[in-house]
Chain A
Amino acid sequence: MEGLFAGLLYMTWKQLVMIGFGAILIYLAIRKEYEPALLLPIGFGAILVNIPFSAAIDQGATEGALSIFYRAGILTEIFPLLIFVAIGAMIDFSPLFRKPVLILFGAAAQFGIFFTMMVATLMGFNLREAASIGIIGSADGPTSIYVASQLARNLLGPISVAAYSYMSLVPIIQPPVIKMLTTRKERLIRMDSNPREVSRTILILFPILVTLLAGLVAPVSVALIGFLMFGNLIRECGVLNKLSLAAQNELASLVTLLLGISIAATMTANDFLRPSTLMIIGMGLLAFIFDTAGGVLFAKFFNLFLKKKINPMIGATGISAFPMSARVIHTMGLKEDPTNFLLMYAISANVSGQIGSVIAGGMILALVH
């Protein structure tokens, strides 16, 4: 009889808390639609792995399915890289060419990553852990998972949860930071339009050139950027439409599902319920705040040298959360002046943020030993 109810008899309060946490993630995914594709599998996985003696994870010598997925897909980096192929197939880089100078915001708005890394070292995390926490600020889930799986596997669970949660909270996090750092006059700045037709040759060459350049600057980033750009090449080449659609839809859906539920394998009560988890969640927020601040302040600095000023709100879209961040800034612009349409520029900077976040991940992998 005892064998039948072993789960109930050996349930600890920590496991109960984790099951409750999993339920909250599922609630947020369904009711609030916070990154449901990721938070729902993570939430359900958190329940699966916290049932006492769960057969979903390794129990002594007996292997569990989630642990197998984790070793095969996360530790080998296969799942995040396949997600990059899917994301690459979804990105249209042509907005980047409209006003190339906006590409710089894709660099400036990565500041939160590095600022948070420094803060994390001061809070007692070692350099590898601090870098993995900082990368939450890339606002790019797969990059966060990729970097954390290489540098601090012990923190993969909380880092993934923080990264995806804050990505969905961009509309709440960014506006107050932007308002605090800009005047109304700055938020009213109009930008002149410069529509440029981009040839197909450029769109095909772009992913190849980015891969080559990134590889030359930081060879360790080649897998990250290479898979992203491979997906984009499939999209832009014009002869692999079926593959492109499959990457954007079926591949993205399947791998996201496996990625989410595999990450949950790390969310056992003993590994997750630690003070460090709360610290990581707090520092993730800090990273997003300083990303936004970095972008806005760089735009203000840049304006000192420009005749035709850039609306500094655009700087905040240099993060990777696409197209959420661009929409937020567009809406903020419209609130200030209903005839000021910033979306086109916001999208340009937002796309550059997608490249910037991956390059930042590569930089971290190259420099943190």
Chain B
Amino acid sequence: MEPTTIENFRQALWITVRSMAGLFVFMGMFILLIPALFKLFPKKKDE
């Protein structure tokens, strides 16, 4: 295998780790945010 291919794969692997972690952190923030939104803005009767 060519060194460029190995280097590209290594970078792709690193991007995978960072992106998947980033995605979970981002979605995790929403899981925390949603209960807070429900507390702050409960549905009113007239809505």
Residues of chain A touching chain B, judged by Cβ–Cβ distance below 8 Å, are: 96-97, 100-101, 103-104, 106-108, 110-111, 114-115, 117-118, 120-122, 124-127, 130-131, 196-202, 205-206, 209-210, 213-214, 217-218, 352, 355-356, 359-360, 363-364, 367-368
Contacts and interface: CB of A to CB of B under 8 A. Distances in A.
A124 to B, nearest CB: 6
Contact of A100 (B16, B31, B41, B42): B31
B26 A364 contact: no
A199 B12 contact: no
Interface string B29-45: 11101110110011110
A150 to B, nearest CB: 15
Contacts of B15: 114, 117, 131, 363-364, 367-368
Nearest to B4: A126
Contacts of B24: 104, 107-108
Given A127-B8, A130-B12, A368-B15, A100 B34 contact: yes
Contacts of A125: 8
B31 A114 contact: no
B27 to A, nearest CB: 5
Given A114-B16, A127-B11, A199 B28 contact: no
Contacts of A352: 27
9 contacts: A100-B31, A100-B34, A100-B35, A104-B24, A107-B20, A121-B8, A121-B9, A196-B38, A214-B26
B31 A202 contact: no
A199 B44 contact: yes
Given A103-B31, A218-B22, A117 B12 contact: yes
B43 A100 contact: no
B33 to A, nearest CB: 7
A198 B20 CA distance: 29
Contacts of A107: 20, 23-24, 26-27
Nearest to A118: B12
A198 to B, nearest CB: 7
Contacts of A115: 16
Given A100-B34, A127-B11, A202-B38, A367 B27 contact: no
Contacts of B19: 110, 114, 360, 363-364, 367
B26 A367 contact: no
A135 B47 CA distance: 40
A118 B38 contact: no
B7 to A, nearest CB: 9
A197 B20 contact: no
Contacts of A124: 5
A118 B23 contact: no
Nearest to B15: A367
Contacts of B18: 363, 367
Contacts of B35: 100
B37 to A, nearest CB: 5
B39 to A, nearest CB: 11
Contacts of B11: 121, 127
Q: Give the residue among B20, B25, B26 with the most A Cβ atoms within 10 A.
A: B26
Given A199-B41, A202-B37, A104 B31 contact: yes
A213 B31 CA distance: 13
Contacts of B25: 217
Contact of B16 (A117, A201, A202): A117
A210 B29 CA distance: 10
Nearest to A206: B37
Contacts of A197: 43
Given A100-B34, A114-B12, A213-B29, 6 more contacts: A108-B24, A121-B9, A200-B47, A205-B37, A205-B41, A214-B26
B22 A127 contact: no
